[in-house]
Amino acid sequence: MKAGAVCGALAAIGVVARWAWRVNRRGVRIYELVTELSPNSGHSVKDKVDTIQAAVTDLADEQRALGARLDAHLADHRRPLWRRR
């Protein structure tokens, strides 16, 4: 076998090996992303986002209730003293 043929065969093997490594790395990266985005007892990004969403919803409800109390309080103080409860 000539040296040129051996070098060409080694180069082809190197190209195929590099391609296989990149495909494998892409598969591993996709697996890591899917794992991170699926719920797993509070340790994934999805679980943390769900927790934050629940906290924001609770805060919005509390703000709405407090706003209603403030509006009622202001409405009570706008009436003359003799018409207050």
Q: What is the DSSP string of 2-68?
A: -HHHHHHHHHHHHHHHHHHHHHHHHHHHHHHHHHHHS--TT-SHHHHHHHHHHHHHHHHHHHHHHHH
Q: Which two tokens stand for residue 16?
A: 């195929």
Measured from the Cβ of residue 37, the count of other Cβ atoms closer than 10 Å reads 13
What pLDDT score was predicted for residue 85? 60
Q: Which two tokens stand for residue 82?
A: 């003799």
Q: What is the band of 52 on the pLDDT scale with cuts at 50, 70, 90?
A: very high
Q: What does the pLDDT average to over 45-57?
A: 91
Q: Is the model's pLDDT at 80 over the cut of 90? A: no
Q: What does the pLDDT average to over 45-70?
A: 93
Q: What is the pTM of this model?
A: 0.50
Q: What does the pLDDT average to over 50-69?
A: 95
**Whole-number mean pLDDT of the chain?**
87
